[in-house]
Amino acid sequence: MTFEQRKQERQALVQHLMAQDWDVFGTLKFVNGRTIGRSSADKLLRSYWNKMDRMMFGKAAERQNMRVPRWCFAHEGGDTENYHIHFALQAPIPDVNHMCCTLNAVWAQHHNQTAPLFKNWIMPVTDRTAVASYLTREYWRLGSDTFLDAMSWDDQTAANAFKDYHHLKQANRLSRAASPLWLKQAHQALGDQKAAYEASSDLQMMERG
């Protein structure tokens, strides 16, 4: 495939992303992205997203195939050996900040190979164009393999049903997702990361965390 073909495919993917609704941008890392191995990493990621779906929608996650709309992308870093993912996500609850903190806290507690709170970056989106460009920035090297279709969920009709899940059962599931201490620390991490981004407006800082 020529560079021009890959450029056109990336542009088409960016256009598709820009046409969707999402308000969270995140980076999920591992304790060591150089040793985890992509197969092991992807298993942890799939189990994590399945857990988040059940937390948001309970039994409807399986019975009605309700999922959190998300678009996940594999990145390998500048040296092609630091595996991690970036994602755009539509928060299924009105409090986007709380959704960011819950996502981070659950990932940090998910496995002994998943990165701690302050190493991940999960924030409300402030610049959709910059995020879409960043999500696809490794397309030139990985091609379509950068898009993790198996753990993404591209169904905008799901958003119409979100209001049906804003009830006590969902609130109880979310309250059990992580301890109050972990959520407090996640809110601190979010505040620090928001401040760092506002100071530099540079998404690449997430790679250095």
Task: Give the whole-angstrom CA distance, residue 3 versus residue 68.
Answer: 33
Each domain of the chain, given as residue ranges in start order, spans: 3-199
Helix, strand, coil % over all residues of the chain, rounded to 5: 55, 10, 30
Which residues are CB-contacts of 118 (< 8 A; sequence separation ≥ 6)? 189, 192, 209
Per-residue pLDDT of the chain (209 residues; tens, 9 = 90+): 677 888 899 999 999 999 999 999 999 999 998 899 889 999 999 999 999 999 999 998 888 888 999 999 999 876 667 899 999 999 999 999 999 999 999 999 999 999 999 999 999 999 999 999 999 999 888 888 899 999 999 887 777 778 777 878 888 888 888 888 888 999 999 999 888 888 877 777 566 54
H runs (alpha helix) in 19-126:
38-57, 60-63, 96-110
71 phi and psi angles, rounded to 5 deg: -135, 110
122 phi and psi angles, rounded to 5 deg: -140, 115
- Look-up: residue for tokens 């542009």? 11
pTM of the model: 0.90
Task: Give the whole-angstrom CA distance, residue 62 versus residue 58.
Answer: 8
Task: Give the whole-angstrom CA distance, residue 154 versus residue 173.
Answer: 24
